[in-house]
Amino acid sequence: MKRAKSDWSGALLVCAKCSKKVGGGFGPKGRERLAKALRHEPGFGKGRKAAFGVIEVKCLGLCPKDAVTVVDTRRPGEWLVVPAGSDVAELAGRFS
């Protein structure tokens, strides 16, 4: 088995089903999905060279109304429910 190095200090798991139900709701114009908006923040990305990974997963099973479920892999027991329209920069600062 081979190993691949990564610069990630952690990762965010973002529920794709919640993001789809919200229909965007994030970013400067409110049209981006949460995962994509987070990837635009400094230090976040989906590639191995990002400082913090952002992964969109199929469904996390918690389906809040007008919000997206997010799990920080460093704190798996604490899930976040992020309302549509929340400030992405503020959210990113919480994980830095």
Q: Mean pLDDT in runs of 10 for the chain (96 residues)?
A: 92 94 87 93 90 94 94 95 94 88
Chain-centroid distance of CA 53 in Å reads 8
3-state secondary structure (DSSP) of residue 16: helix
| Helices (runs of H) and strands (runs of E) counted in the chain | 3, 5
Q: Find the angle CA(76)-CA(30)-CA(96) to the nearest 5 degrees.
A: 35
State the pLDDT at residue 30. 84
Q: Are strands 67-72 and 79-83 parallel, antiparallel or unpaired?
A: antiparallel
pTM, two decimal places: 0.90
